[in-house]
Copies of this chain bind each other. A is one copy, B any other.
């Protein structure tokens, strides 16, 4: 089975969005994906790219993606973040995850970053075992915190109310 891992083009974004939706379903959040193909094209291929995407292609079909961007560590300076590493369910176990991660690690190394980070669900034992085998550190003492769009609005409304008391 021959598979090509390469940098994504605008034309790939339909296939990329399909995989993003497949992952959201696996993560039990099927309705969380608000992004569109047009957003991905605008944000990834405009005058300033907000992400870099690698794709794994087989028989003209996108069967895996790795999407990365830069973050800023106040300890290490610019670091690389892997937002999504997705391999289509039907293509698991064929080494595509490794091939995509290889690309990401080489990309980060070439940029000279001192860290590559990502996030994993605690119950995704297959992913955790895969990442640990690759030498990554699963930092179970750190939790992700989020304020979503509704919570942002509520926060500011509460602030206004407190100020008017």
Contacts and interface: CB of A to CB of B under 8 A. Distances in A.
Interface in A35-85: 35, 39, 43, 50-51, 67, 69-78, 81, 83-84
Contact of A117 (B33, B113, B144): B144
A81 B77 contact: no
Nearest to A42: B77
Contacts of A84: 74
A45 to B, nearest CB: 13
A1 interface: no
Given A34-B114, A35-B77, A51-B72, A108 B146 contact: no
A91 to B, nearest CB: 19
Task: Specify how many copies of this chain sit in the oligomer.
Answer: 2
A34 B117 CA distance: 17
Given A39-B77, A50-B72, A120 B105 contact: no
Contacts of A165: none
A7 interface: no
Given A35-B77, A83-B72, A156-B105, A131 B145 contact: yes
A135 B159 contact: no
B143 A122 contact: yes
15 contacts: A34-B75, A67-B74, A71-B81, A102-B159, A115-B146, A116-B146, A116-B147, A120-B142, A135-B155, A136-B151, A137-B146, A139-B144, A139-B145, A139-B146, A144-B144
